[in-house]
Amino acid sequence: MSGMAEVSPKYLAEVASSAIPVGYKQTEVGLIPEDWLILTLGDIAELTSSKRIFESDYVKSGVPFYRGQEISSLLNGSVIENVIYISQAKFNELAARFGAPKAGEILITAVGTLGNSFLVESNDPFYFKDGNLIWLRKIKNCQPKYLIKQLNYNKNRVLECAIGSSQKALTMVSLSPLLIPVPSKIEEQTTIANALSDVDALISELEKLIAKKQAIKTATMQQLLTGRTRLPQFSLREDGTPKGTKPSELGEIPEDWEVKAYGEVFTFLSTSTNSRADLSEEGDFGYVHYGDIHTEWNNKLDLNKERLPRISKNIVSSAFVMDGDLIMADASEDYEGIGKTVEVFNVGDKQLVAGLHTFLLRDKEKVLADGFRGYLHSIPAVKSSFDRLATGMKVYGISKNNLSSVCFPVPSLEEQTAIAAILSDMDAEIQALEQRLGKTRQIKQGMMQELLTGRIRLPI
């Protein structure tokens, strides 16, 4: 990546004037360097599939047998659950007669989730379901690591090769004519593939680091928010002996903590009932949509950092949100999202309302410290109560009456503040990593656009 060349001013000027830049040519896939080739996928590889495996061939252990869904899981880095196997003897027979996937070959999902391209990177034996996957083997004139980058970058063109009406599918015949721009020199293909692989590796490491930090935060919340682990400054009595626990309706809690219910601590304020269709970039008030609580924010909504959709004052009538208020999503399509809540910060002179499928909760007597309220739904006993009280079939919801009865443990204000500071620091670190990950993904997208079209040439 450090050797990346600059796009010349002359190139940009000629593109802007719609002229074909010197050293480039117009092709069916757009402008590419004059010394690049346009090859069909059928020119590059033999497109084939596997031999039929029947359910009666499945065994409890042996050689893994993958369908499209397992290949998609491997691409996502997910653990494959309930692996299907065929016997080693069956695999050996098929491999000897017809071949089996090996390093440097590519599989493309052909039914269901279409167009996911998977590069086989090891010779660990596996077999796959016929019809579910298209197998690219005997690849020539093109580095497999370069080809997989082109297939991923041009996934939309891959999907355009699908045939059928209600149940679209990719076939060897339909995919074979797909056009691929290919540098004529293998060395340039390798250089491009390596540069993009370096970015992929960085993205993968960032994803792993974020997952690790999130796991640490979850474990920390479970310890601190339940009192199972006490911060040193709150762990001893005045006489220097360790503080103990006491029984409560939530189980054992620290002896100096209380138990309170949502209805005891919070006032329930009015919310709006407008859908996304009523929102825009313009409008009088900010609008907190329950969908954004599920997808955009964790624990807090900082209005100095987040831009909300807007709504006209003429179609909304509800209480305005204040600093320290909680906005809870009262509906979710899965159990994980039931009761997800954000605490609002930095309202200032902004006017905003809580929207459809939300509860707006205000701490009546400031029982809870600023920054601590947003973590209530992460307390295991609270989340367990939400899940138990939720009703519905496809969408799960919780009522105000049920929410009012949910209890949670309450440390002193000083301990709440200390706990919130630790968790907030963890959130800030994770958010910074997520922002870095987002920027790295943008960089990768830009690199693919430039390198895989030849607009930028790397030294070889």
Same domain, 426 and 444: yes
pLDDT of residue 392: 84
Same domain, 34 and 97: yes
Same domain, 266 and 386: yes
CATH code of 158's domain: 3.90.220.20
Same domain, 209 and 302: no
Same domain, 128 and 117: yes
pLDDT of residue 10: 56
pLDDT of residue 3: 44
Helix crossing, 186-224 with 413-451: angle to 10°?
170
What percent of the chain is predicted at pLDDT more than 90?
Answer: 85
Nearest to 124 by CA among 161, 83, 69, 184: 83
**Span 296-318, pLDDT tens digits:** 998 999 999 999 999 999 998 89
CATH code of 452's domain: 1.10.287.1120
What gap in Å lies between CA 159 and CA 152, rounded to an integer? Answer: 11
Q: Is residue 401 part of a domain?
A: yes
Q: Is residue 390 part of a domain?
A: yes
Q: Among the three residues 184, 199, 221, which one is the final residue of a domain in this structure?
A: 184
**Span 51-110, pLDDT tens digits:** 999 999 999 999 999 999 899 998 888 888 889 999 999 999 999 999 999 999 999 999
pTM of the model: 0.83
pLDDT of residue 309: 94
Q: Is residue 400 part of a domain?
A: yes
- Structural domain total, the chain: 3
pLDDT of residue 4: 47
**Span 390-423, pLDDT tens digits:** 888 788 889 999 999 999 999 999 999 999 999 9
Same domain, 229 and 268: no
pLDDT of residue 317: 86
Same domain, 180 and 198: no
Domain carrying residue 198: 186-233+412-460
The DSSP string of 163-197 is B-SSS-B--HHHHTT-EEEEESSHHHHHHHHHHHH
Q: Is residue 9 part of a domain?
A: no
Q: In angstroms, what is the C-alpha Rg of the chain? A: 29
pLDDT of residue 18: 60
Distance of CA 435 to the CA centre of its chain: 13
287 has pLDDT over 50? yes
What gap in Å lies between CA 256 and CA 361, rounded to an integer? Answer: 26
pLDDT of residue 9: 62
The pLDDT of 277-284, averaged and rounded, is: 91
What gap in Å lies between CA 86 and CA 236, rounded to an integer? Answer: 60
2 has pLDDT over 70? no
Same domain, 69 and 98: yes
Q: Is residue 402 part of a domain?
A: yes
The pLDDT of 196-222, averaged and rounded, is: 96
Same domain, 170 and 53: yes
**Span 134-184, pLDDT tens digits:** 999 999 999 999 999 999 999 999 999 999 988 899 999 999 999 999 999
Q: Which amino acid is at 450?
A: E
The residue with greater pLDDT, 47 or 15, is 47
pLDDT of residue 79: 84
217 has pLDDT over 70? yes
Same domain, 177 and 49: yes
DSSP β-bridge partners for residue 260: 408
Same domain, 337 and 371: yes
**C-beta of residue 454 within 8 angstroms of C-beta of residue 231:** no
361 has pLDDT over 90? yes
Same domain, 173 and 117: yes
**Span 240-266, pLDDT tens digits:** 999 999 999 999 999 999 999 999 999
Distance of CA 107 to the CA centre of its chain: 23
